[in-house]
Amino acid sequence: MEYKDHILSEAIRLVFVESRRQQGLTQSGLSIRSNITRQFISQVEVGKRLPSINTLCALANAYNKSLSQLFHEVDRFYPLIENKKQLFRIPPNIAAETRRKLSEYINNAKKQADSATVAPSAPQENTGQ
């Protein structure tokens, strides 16, 4: 499989958010557990940064997962995101006004799809007590 950076970044983002929420951690709690700044974790979770291999190892440990488990989860999300991106493409031969309306509709659908991909939950700080 050929990986595209923007899709890989989105897959990593989703795996990180899902893993953190499954652990019941806030970004601050994950920061403490992994010794990575909360700001960096936030940037990864919104897709602005990609972690280095050392950071991936630290986060995998913080999630109580192996690096291979983390990559397996990224592989699981990758085709879903790739298919979603293809689903939301607008054909080039559509009239300008129709294109604008379709684009607006697609953007709303993307927001709904994104919120459904990683269901929001109330993360709780894991104090270890």
Question: Which residue segments constitute the domains of the chain, with CATH numbers given?
Answer: 5-87 (1.10.260.40), 90-118 (no CATH)
pLDDT grade for 14, boundaries at 50, 70 and 90: confident
C-alpha pair distances (Å), 31 with each of 25, 39, 54, 60, 98: 9, 9, 15, 12, 46
Q: In the predicted model, is pLDDT for residue 17 greater than 80? A: yes
Q: What is the DSSP letter of 118?
A: S
Per the prediction, the chain carries an average pLDDT of 78
Summarize pLDDT for 60-76 with one digit per residue, the tens: 999 999 999 988 888 88
What is the pTM (predicted TM-score) of this model?
0.59
* Residue whose structure tokens are 């990609």: 50
The type of residue at 44 is V
Query: Within 13 Å of residue 92, how many CA atoms lie on the same side as its CB?
Result: 0
What mean pLDDT comes out for the span 91-106? 71
